[in-house]
């Protein structure tokens, strides 16, 4: 495990080397159905270290299901997910729940629309929690958490409970929590969906800086073209499938491919 610490450049842009980097996470022929509805209809996707991938598409097109399947939260009906860990390739779909939960804790970070922070805990306690779950003593966990909060512009707010922070500040606490264990892939599901555009840009800067700015990967579901335009790649979904780039070029003015 590599529990990296900040600082990172606040306005880091995606690594241009991402396109030639090997895939760190890949999904092949992913299928997931819920009763009669097909959330993933045979999907292939590769995520490389150092890139930010925006997942776009209409409501119900399978964005959240794809994110959760890549992250080992949801098991696909068929297909597989492979993760390149420092010690080699692992088949996430073949892991038992205990191992998958360990993988999620150690290698992945998560930021959701409503941060899912624990309201009874302070900012620093929320960020320190993943480290304490990984066995770090409280003092060291809180020391690292403090570094991350400061790097995300939240110095002085460590002792506030989540309800005492603005929406944008709370999202930055969520980003600190997602990154404190040195996650190599961060998954974000509409992390700026509840924020105004200026706050959204701040949060996106923090998210990009703390992930691609460190050579890690960011997979971000968004409905916002301005967010997608900041990512190194945009993937459009429709009815559980990745749209070929020819059908999506122009919608964000950027090259698209899966
Ligand atoms: N737990 C579930 N039980 C039943 N159906 C589900 C479940 N999760 C997703 N679905 C269905 O799978 C399809 C894809 O859902 P998903 O949540 O992945 O869409 P989405 O693209 O994230 O949509 P949104 O933009 O509204 O968040 C939808 O038809 C949805 O109703
Ligand atoms: Mg969703």
Domain residue extents for the chain:
23-248
The dotted CATH code for 23-248 is: 3.40.50.300
Looking at residue 208, what is its pLDDT?
Answer: 93
pTM (predicted TM-score): 0.86
Contact 143, 101 (CB under 8 A): no
Query: How close is the Cα of 136 to the center of ligand 2, in Å?
Result: 33
Instruction: Please state the atom number of ligand 1 nearest to the C-alpha of residue 61.
Output: 21
Q: Whose CA is nearest to atom 25 of ligand 1?
A: 59
**What pLDDT does residue 20 have?**
67
Q: What's the Rg (C-alpha) of the chain? A: 17
Distance from the CA of 62 to the center of ligand 1, in angstroms? 6
Exposure class string for 222-244: b at 16+ Cβ within 10 A, else e? bebeebbebbbbbbbbbebbbbe
Ligand 1: lining residues by beta carbon, under 6 Å: 34, 37, 39, 57, 59-65
Q: What is the pLDDT of residue 55?
A: 98
In the prediction, which pLDDT does 198 show?
A: 86
CA dihedral defined by 192, 37, 29, 94, rounded to 10 degrees?
A: 90
Ligand 1: atom nearest CA of 57 is 21
Question: Which ligand is nearest to the Cα of residue 63, counting in written order?
Answer: 1
The neighbour count for residue 72, using CB atoms within 10 Å, is 23
Rounded mean pLDDT for each run of 10 residues along the chain, 258 residues in total: 46 50 93 96 96 97 96 96 93 95 90 83 95 92 94 93 92 91 92 86 89 92 95 96 70 42
Task: Name residues with Cβ closer than 5 Å to ligand 2, which is an ion.
Answer: 63-64
């Amino acid at each position: 495990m590599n529990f990296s610490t900040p600082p990172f450049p606040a306005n880091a842009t995606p690594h241009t080397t991402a396109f030639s980097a090997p895939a760190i996470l890949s999904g092949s022929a992913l299928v997931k159905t819920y009763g009669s509805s097909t959330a993933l209809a045979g999907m292939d996707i590769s995520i490389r270290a150092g890139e930010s991938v925006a997942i776009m598409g209409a409501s119900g097109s399978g964005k959240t299901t794809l994110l959760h399947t890549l992250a080992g939260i949801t098991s696909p009906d068929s297909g597989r997910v492979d993760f390149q860990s420092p010690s080699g390739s692992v088949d996430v779909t073949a892991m038992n729940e205990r191992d998958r939960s360990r993988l999620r804790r150690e290698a992945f970070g998560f930021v959701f629309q409503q941060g899912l922070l624990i309201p009874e805990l302070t900012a620093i306690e929320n960020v320190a929690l993943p480290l304490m779950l990984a066995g770090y003593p409280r003092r060291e966990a809180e020391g690292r958490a403090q570094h991350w909060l400061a790097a995300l512009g939240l110095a002085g707010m460590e002792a506030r409970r989540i309800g005492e922070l603005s929406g944008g500040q709370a999202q930055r606490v969520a980003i600190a929590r997602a990154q404190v264990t040195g996650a190599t892939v961060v998954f974000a599901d509409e992390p700026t969906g509840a924020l105004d555009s200026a706050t959204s840009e701040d949060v996106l800067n923090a998210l990009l800086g703390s992930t691609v700015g460190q050579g890690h990967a960011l997979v971000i579901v968004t409905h916002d073209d301005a967010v997608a335009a900041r990512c190194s790649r945009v993937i459009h979904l429709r009815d559980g499938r990745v749209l070929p780039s020819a059908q999506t070029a122009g919608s964000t003015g950027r090259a698209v491919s899966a």
